[in-house]
Structure 1
Amino acid sequence: MINNSNKFNWLLVFVFAISLRTSAQNTLHPTSSEYEYPTDVKVAEKLEQWRDQKFGILIHWGIYAVPGIVESWSINNEDWINRKDTTQSYEDYKKWYWGLSEKFNPQGFDPSQWADAAEKAGMKYVVFTTKHHDGFNMYDTQFADYKISNGPFKNHPKADVAKYVFDAFREKDMMIGAYYSKPDWHSQYYWWDYRATPDRNVNYDIRKHPWRWNQYVQFTHNQLNEITSNYGDIDILWLDGGWVRPKSTVNEEVLSWGAPIPDFDQQIDMPIVAEMVRENQEGILIVDRTVHGPFENYRTPEQGIPSEMSSDPWESCITLGGAWGYVPNDKFKPSRKVIHLLIEIVAKGGNLLLGVGPTADGLFVPEQVSRLEEIGKWLEVNGDGIYNTRAIENFQDGKLYFTQGKAKELYALLPLEENEELEDTISWSLNPPKKGSKIIILGENKSLKWKTEDGKTVVTVPKNLREKLANSPAIVIRYISE
């Protein structure tokens, strides 16, 4: 084992390397004719409810928070992972990483703080990691001992962490999503100690060891049954680890990840999973990420935004900082940047799922909380242009983005950079206002003067209003279109 000082330095380097890889391995998959809108009426209703929410929080929390490193990936052994310390064996590193469970004792765990911060941010749903790829369970599963409720935290009254997270967000009337990793690198049915662990995939040939894989499939079904039976109403089952899939579904997108592809199916029988969880939770959305078809109820591009608008349901998952989980001295995006991301994503037909990672003690740091509060203050005034809207074909005109409300009203959203002066007129050529339409800036009741000539709409912004809105991250104009 390397000493603690060298280990900490190495971890910082590793986090940086992982952040670069995350960018390179962006799952920015476009929607296409492969998308299948759900035929189950209850699922379709839930999907449209989810599309109204627009803004959610993704919480990665696990043993990786103890040293403040990237979640799970450092125990993978693919070529793109570069470890600074070449004297430590891979097996020793895995033992060290998995042994972090003995140090994970979040006595400050306060899910109400998370839910309060999310509510103040204007978020409407949560996705919480019940288990990441490393196999450490953040709920009291009866099918594995490697869990938060079986370590130093086991006697805490909130040891069944997922229960208290979901309860805290339900109290805020938010939709509840359970993240679950299809691969489990701690399971002997997935990474079998008899074999080496060369990459992210199952480390034995399923065709030669069908019993072992069938045990893994049953283990996965058992856990998903627990999560959707014992933890109250669940709206979303968010399945990660897209390499666990039928071989027939491997496409160019999957190949672009650069990960090895086994010459056999690596699937968990999603039709059975879907039937089971929907018996437990009527209408639950299933998001089998990147596996296009009936069990990917919405698409999930990662760390970026598709270039075009899509009428198919989708969600960009993007981190507030540079990492999904907690990393010391992380650099958080300015609230203005997040608001601009939200505007573009919603105008293109998507939702924003913002990743925020708690510390090892179970709290958001003050800077995370303040960023979320700033976003929420903007949404308090301008949320009508975001929530319950849908994208339109002409979603952008220069710097302006457009959304449409359910009463067919239009919103023109203008992002503003820091220190950018709001000009005395705002103009656009697409989506002209209806003759006699009242045009206002959200938060202001006074109608603005406007005219449309030669196909161009020009709205006049009075000086006093420009001064009042000088520091706004964005302004939103509402009007009725022709």
Structure 2
Amino acid sequence: MFTKQQTKTLFLSSLLLSTTFFTQAHNVSEGYQKPTDPLVIQNLENWQDLKFGLFMHWGTYSQWGIVESWSLCPEDESWTQRKSEHGKSYDEYVKNYENLQTTFNPTQFNPQKWADATKKAGMKYVVFTTKHHDGFAMFDTQQSDYKITSSKTPFSKNPKADVTKEIFNTFRKDGFKIGAYFSKPDWHSDDYWWSYFPPKDRNVNYDPKKYPEKWNSFMNFTFNQLNEITSNYGKVDILWLDGGWVRPFHTIDPNVEWQRTIKVEQDIDMDKIGTMARKNQPGIIVVDRTVPGKWENYVTPEQAVPEHALSIPWESCITMGDSFSYVPNDNYKSSQKIIETLVKIISRGGNYLMNIAPGPNGDYDPIVYDRLNEISTWMNDNQSAVFATRAVAPYHDGNFYYTQSKDGKTVNIFHLDEKENYQSPSIVSFVLPENFKPKSLKVLGLKNKIHWKKTGNSIEINLPKERNQLKYSTVIQIIQ
């Protein structure tokens, strides 16, 4: 077990992935509070069994192939720069961006195709962006006409226009846990970015204490939209709240650069929101990202993997390509890199939420399906070492990564070499977890009997020639 400060340090000290293209830094908050609600505790336990989830950022911005929402934000960030062809002035750009609603018509939208491919690849839960910071609702909200089901949006005439409903129902039917991403800030709302003032940065552009009626209106708007999502869309297992700058002022960590930009109180009353969500969805996991306290039920490093195992629930959200949003000709990670990332994450006790962005036509790029199919082949052989497992010391030793069954009777050892094309060695030698007494051993994916010997606390294995058929890793499963 780690202290709060050690936990924070472990997260922030090392990022094992170098992907920085189109990402927004999200430091992990310290001061984790374990939930006390028995239903939430059980839901978290079940969620930790799932290991591999699907994240989807999708909105009108996919038509321009740009980073989601952030180009609207007047912060000096290189990855949010606006393209001149989309508007020469800021006001013209915003007008044209919001006018994307009138051309959004993803006629190839077929969530069953996504569910089939991702389920085969081993994904077991989905988190979908019901609304990003730009305020465009991908669900049938009654609080705004800036939504996919508005008559202004061509796709509203499609019987599957409420894409959140279609995605949730389809994936739920296929056994996925359902997660609703929702942005607390709303840059389209006149009660957040009040048109009386120009926006200065990502934060509310007025002082809520000076204009309390304005802020109260925004709080009610947010509450009502979240009430819709948790009331009208069937069972929702996770409420994934983004936009951590909307937070009580006293929770700001001055050591975190982006939190130092918060100059005013932005308390949105998470107690009221969380209580409502739990009333509508008993046991729902609430993830109020980067805001420490009882409503951050697990923590969410972004585009990064902690270097060490952690004793609190956590999930790395990492893109399959370089971008969270759809970008033409994105640089998609290899299946080997995805498998290696999954192994590192689960060996440290986390979940891997991999983002795949649909395009403006309503489908993934073809290469995505190739990747998912390749991953599924590996999963067919190795899923027993992945799902419903927990971290076990020594966690990571050289090229070896460890997981164990929840009853502690089975240990799984993953061998990676991180070369361009994995080759299983003829002899592997590794240490056992302390006090583990092996009785039987097998290499997942191989049918031949495996010759092994134990010396002290180490195991040595001679692998047969058929080891050459193993892709991405060698996975050894030992039962005591």
TM-score of the aligned structures, taking structure 1 as reference length: 0.91
Q: Secondary structure at the match of 1:282?
A: coil
* 1:289 alignment partner AA: R
Conserved 8 A contact 1:382-1:475: no
Q: Secondary structure at the match of 1:479?
A: strand
* 2:461 alignment partner AA: V
Are 1:297 and 2:294 counterparts?
no
Conserved 8 A contact 1:432-1:452: no
Q: Secondary structure at the match of 2:71?
A: helix
Measure the CA separation in 2 of the matches of 1:194 and 1:108: 40
Q: Secondary structure at the match of 2:95?
A: helix
Match of 1:193 among 192, 195, 202: 195
Match of 2:183 among 181, 200, 213: 181
* 1:134 alignment partner AA: D
Aligned-pair CA distance for 1:159: 1.1
Measure the CA separation in 2 of the matches of 1:289 and 1:197: 23
Measure the CA separation in 1 of the matches of 2:462 and 2:195: 70
Match of 1:77 among 74, 77, 92: 74
Are 1:251 and 2:253 counterparts?
yes
* CA offsets 1:253-312 (integer angstroms, 9 cap, x no match): 5x23376211x3202100111110111001000000111111011000000101110021
Are 1:374 and 2:371 counterparts?
no
Are 1:35 and 2:32 counterparts?
yes
* CA offsets 1:214-253 (integer angstroms, 9 cap, x no match): 0000000000000000000000000000110011111145
1:29-428 matched pairs, under 5 angstroms: 29=28, 32=30, 34-80=31-77, 81-83=80-82, 85=84, 88-150=88-150, 151-252=153-254, 255-257=256-258, 260-262=261-263, 264-408=264-408, 409-416=410-417, 417-428=419-430
* 2:476 alignment partner AA: I
Conserved 8 A contact 1:433-1:479: no
Measure the CA separation in 2 of the matches of 1:429 and 1:265: 52
Residue 452 of structure 2 corresponds to 450
**Relative to structure 1, is the Cα distance of residues 428 and 219 closer, same or farther in structure 2, using a 3 angstrom cutoff?**
same
* CA offsets 1:407-428 (integer angstroms, 9 cap, x no match): 3210001124333432211111
Task: Give the stretch that moved more between structures: 343-352 or 392-401.
Answer: 392-401
* 2:378 alignment partner AA: W
Aligned-pair CA distance for 1:35: 1.1
Conserved 8 A contact 1:134-1:184: yes
Q: Secondary structure at the match of 1:136?
A: coil
Measure the CA separation in 1 of the matches of 2:59 and 2:111: 14
* CA offsets 1:296-347 (integer angstroms, 9 cap, x no match): 1100000010111002100000000011121111110001100000000000
Conserved 8 A contact 1:410-1:479: yes
Aligned-pair CA distance for 1:445: 4.4
* 1:227 alignment partner AA: I
Residue 12 of structure 1 corresponds to none
Measure the CA separation in 1 of the matches of 2:274 and 2:284: 9
Q: Secondary structure at the match of 2:412?
A: strand
Q: Secondary structure at the match of 1:367?
A: helix
Measure the CA separation in 1 of the matches of 2:365 and 2:423: 32
Aligned-pair CA distance for 1:41: 0.2
Conserved 8 A contact 1:439-1:477: yes
Residue 465 of structure 1 corresponds to 466
Structure 2 residue ranges without an equivalent (≥5): 1-18
Q: Secondary structure at the match of 1:148?
A: coil
4+ residue segments displaced more than 4 Å: 19-23, 432-436
Identity %: 47
Aligned-pair CA distance for 1:435: 4.9
**Relative to structure 1, is the Cα distance of residues 380 and 252 closer, same or farther in structure 2, using a 3 angstrom cutoff?**
farther
* 1:260 alignment partner AA: T
Residue 475 of structure 1 corresponds to 474
Conserved 8 A contact 1:414-1:476: yes
* CA offsets 1:59-84 (integer angstroms, 9 cap, x no match): 11101111111100001001224446
Q: Secondary structure at the match of 2:154?
A: coil
Structure 1 residue ranges without an equivalent (≥5): 1-18
* 2:466 alignment partner AA: L
Q: Secondary structure at the match of 1:439?
A: strand
Q: Secondary structure at the match of 2:475?
A: strand
* 2:283 alignment partner AA: G
Aligned-pair CA distance for 1:115: 1.1
**Relative to structure 1, is the Cα distance of residues 105 and 224 closer, same or farther in structure 2, using a 3 angstrom cutoff?**
same
* 1:448 alignment partner AA: I
Q: Secondary structure at the match of 1:191?
A: coil
Aligned-pair CA distance for 1:27: 2.4
Conserved 8 A contact 1:143-1:222: yes
Measure the CA separation in 1 of the matches of 2:306 and 2:226: 31
Measure the CA separation in 2 of the matches of 1:21 and 1:184: 24
Aligned-pair CA distance for 1:453: 2.4
**Relative to structure 1, is the Cα distance of residues 186 and 368 closer, same or farther in structure 2, using a 3 angstrom cutoff?**
same
Measure the CA separation in 2 of the matches of 1:111 and 1:345: 27
Conserved 8 A contact 1:128-1:162: yes
Conserved 8 A contact 2:207-2:265: no
Conserved 8 A contact 1:238-1:287: yes
For these two proteins, the number of residue pairs brought into alignment is 455
**Relative to structure 1, is the Cα distance of residues 51 and 447 closer, same or farther in structure 2, using a 3 angstrom cutoff?**
same
Are 1:439 and 2:441 counterparts?
yes
* 2:49 alignment partner AA: D
**Relative to structure 1, is the Cα distance of residues 188 and 100 closer, same or farther in structure 2, using a 3 angstrom cutoff?**
same
Q: Secondary structure at the match of 1:354?
A: strand
Measure the CA separation in 1 of the matches of 2:379 and 2:338: 12
Q: Secondary structure at the match of 1:410?
A: strand
Measure the CA separation in 2 of the matches of 1:236 and 1:411: 29
Conserved 8 A contact 2:121-2:373: yes
Measure the CA separation in 1 of the matches of 2:54 and 2:197: 38
Conserved 8 A contact 2:392-2:404: yes
